[in-house]
């Protein structure tokens, strides 16, 4: 095993070991200290793995168990940064949490243990070169994150966690049925039998078309429930709304795109057996359906975290369209969209803690006049919503432009026109929410400095530097070796 592969393997192992250490320590304070101290080296390892994957994008590591390619490398880096930030803001959340699912008995220990295990699973999913291992890791992430969604112990949080657990587990059950059908197709074809993406890719040309198509549809439909694509997105707004803010950031910025990456790799592995047209049309269907369902909700006055949740539905739809179009421009746009969405969305969820301190009503009602009450928080809300709406020079504007051009390049002009109309409507809805949140009629506010304000302001400053830099990098990405690697995929 090379040093590059060893670091990649260590990245998900470190948070898992840290989580076990937190659970074993008798003192909750000591456990919190271990959790917080573990974050920097984990994030550093994730960034090193990401840098190697992108610099050597023409030489991916693609074995039977470990995969370090350009797409996975991007997601590992994003997950490393968002996970470290979520740990950093967790003490603020725990200091303000009024109730806990675990009562008064070591809730801090349970929280950090579950969060570290969740983070470990999220870091491992993009590195898994085996569909069976990826399925198990996604299931593990469901178990850990369901406890975190229900962490407050409030009735609405318990209901959201139950809905999340039932619907996503049902989806993963459908995906497991797809795995079994795929194994049957491999057995009947007499070709390579295995669940590594390389084995599936090698066997795909000789698979029975009907069985391969059935397996593909079952896998995509099952994973769609975990990605949060419409029409199987029902758990998403409730879970994002009720989870602790640091957990909501990981759910939206890391979990959804991580499972979407698994779906993308399934498409790359099975495309020869299913047919390129059919494989792409499934992604385009989910993309357009997600945009169409998200738009009416983005036009409604929603509580802050619920608004961000429906925005996630829209952005996962954009990434699905990019994969469905499959061209160089569209895939480059998908990578930029994943990173830009992660930065803006995680900032929005972190901002929920001081925002609720400034204007408590925003926990259950739309944000109004935040900028009039606190100029700093108003600026953060404005940055987040402007970036998510795709307001230039947001990198999400550039990525959506690349995806649209990529769709035209691939010959999907009708789908592009429909998508642009839906994105324009979503843009108007988010811009209206931005204006109302920043400069609308001021609602009742709480005096004093809200908890976590200074920390979130620092994170906002970092995002304010990264977002324009990402928009600039997006212009060069389509002609780079990274774009070549994305187009080649597993071939």
Kindly report, residue by residue over 129-147, the tens digit of the pLDDT: 999 999 999 999 999 999 9
Which pLDDT value is given to residue 197?
A: 95
In this structure, is residue 80 part of a structural domain?
A: no
Number of domains in the chain: 1
* Residue 333: C-alpha distances to residues 14, 284, 398 (Å): 31, 15, 8
* pTM (2 d.p.): 0.96
In this structure, is residue 24 part of a structural domain?
A: no
Which pLDDT value is given to residue 448?
A: 63
Q: Residue 353 above 70 pLDDT?
A: yes
Which pLDDT value is given to residue 250?
A: 96
In this structure, is residue 58 part of a structural domain?
A: no
Q: Are strands 61-62 and 67-68 parallel, antiparallel or unpaired?
A: antiparallel
On whether the CB atoms of residues 230 and 292 are closer than 8 A, the answer is: yes
- State pLDDT tens for residues 425-484: 999 999 999 999 998 887 766 766 677 888 999 999 999 899 989 998 888 899 889 999
In this structure, is residue 312 part of a structural domain?
A: yes
In this structure, is residue 290 part of a structural domain?
A: yes
Q: What is the mean pLDDT of residues 388-401?
A: 94
Domain that residue 432 falls in: 275-491
φ, ψ of residue 13 in degrees (nearest 5): -70, -35
In this structure, is residue 17 part of a structural domain?
A: no
Question: Which band of pLDDT confidence, cut at 50, 70 and 90, is reported for residue 319?
Answer: very high
In this structure, is residue 382 part of a structural domain?
A: yes
Which pLDDT value is given to residue 72?
A: 95
In this structure, is residue 440 part of a structural domain?
A: yes
């Amino acid at each position: 095993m090379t040093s590059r592969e060893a670091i990649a393997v260590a990245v998900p192992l470190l948070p898992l070991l840290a989580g076990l250490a937190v659970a074993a320590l008798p003192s909750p304070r000591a456990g919190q200290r271990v959790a917080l101290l573990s974050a920097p080296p984990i994030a550093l390892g994730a960034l090193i793995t990401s840098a190697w994957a992108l610099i050597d994008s023409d030489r991916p590591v693609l074995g039977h168990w470990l995969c370090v390619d350009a797409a996975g490398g991007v997601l590992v880096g994003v997950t490393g940064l968002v996970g470290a930030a979520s740990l950093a803001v967790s003490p603020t959340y725990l200091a303000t949490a009024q109730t806990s699912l675990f009562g008064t008995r070591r809730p801090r220990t349970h929280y950090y243990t579950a969060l570290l295990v969740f983070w470990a699973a999220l870091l491992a999913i993009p590195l898994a070169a085996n569909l069976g291992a990826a399925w198990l890791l996604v299931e593990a992430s469901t178990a850990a994150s369901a406890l975190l969604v229900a962490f407050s112990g409030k009735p609405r949080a318990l209901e959201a966690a139950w809905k999340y657990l039932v619907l996503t587990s049902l989806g993963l059950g459908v995906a497991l049925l797809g795995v079994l059908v795929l194994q049957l197709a491999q057995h009947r074809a007499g070709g390579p039998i295995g669940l590594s993406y390389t084995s599936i890719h090698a066997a795909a040309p000789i698979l029975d078309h009907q069985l391969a198509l059935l397996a593909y549809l079952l896998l995509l439909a099952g994973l769609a429930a975990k990605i949060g694509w419409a029409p199987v997105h029902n758990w998403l707004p409730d879970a994002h709304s009720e989870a602790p803010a640091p957990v909501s950031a990981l759910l939206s910025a890391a979990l959804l795109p991580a499972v979407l990456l698994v779906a993308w790799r399934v498409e790359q592995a099975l495309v020869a057996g299913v047919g390129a047209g059919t494989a792409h049309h499934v992604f385009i269907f989910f993309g357009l359906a997600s945009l169409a369902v998200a738009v009416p909700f983005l036009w409604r006055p929603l509580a802050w975290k619920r608004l961000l949740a429906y925005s996630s539905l829209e952005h996962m739809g954009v990434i699905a369209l990019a994969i469905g179009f499959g061209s160089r421009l569209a895939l480059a746009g998908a990578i930029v969209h994943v990173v830009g969405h992660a930065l803006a969305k995680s900032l929005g969820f972190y901002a929920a803690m001081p925002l609720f301190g400034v204007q408590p009503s925003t926990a259950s009602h739309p944000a109004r006049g935040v900028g009039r009450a606190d100029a700093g928080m108003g600026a953060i809300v404005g940055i987040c919503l402007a970036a998510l709406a795709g307001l230039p020079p947001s990198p999400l504007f550039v990525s959506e432009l690349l995806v649209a051009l990529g769709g035209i390049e691939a010959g999907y002009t009708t789908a592009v026109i429909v998508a642009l109309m839906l994105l324009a409507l979503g843009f108007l809805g988010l811009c209206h929410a931005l204006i109302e949140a920043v400069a609308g009629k001021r609602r009742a506010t709480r005096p004093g400095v809200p908890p976590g304000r200074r920390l979130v302001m620092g994170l906002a400053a970092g995002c304010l530097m990264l977002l324009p830099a990402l928009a600039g990098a997006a212009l060069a990405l389509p002609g780079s070796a990274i774009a070549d690697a994305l187009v080649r995929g597993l071939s």
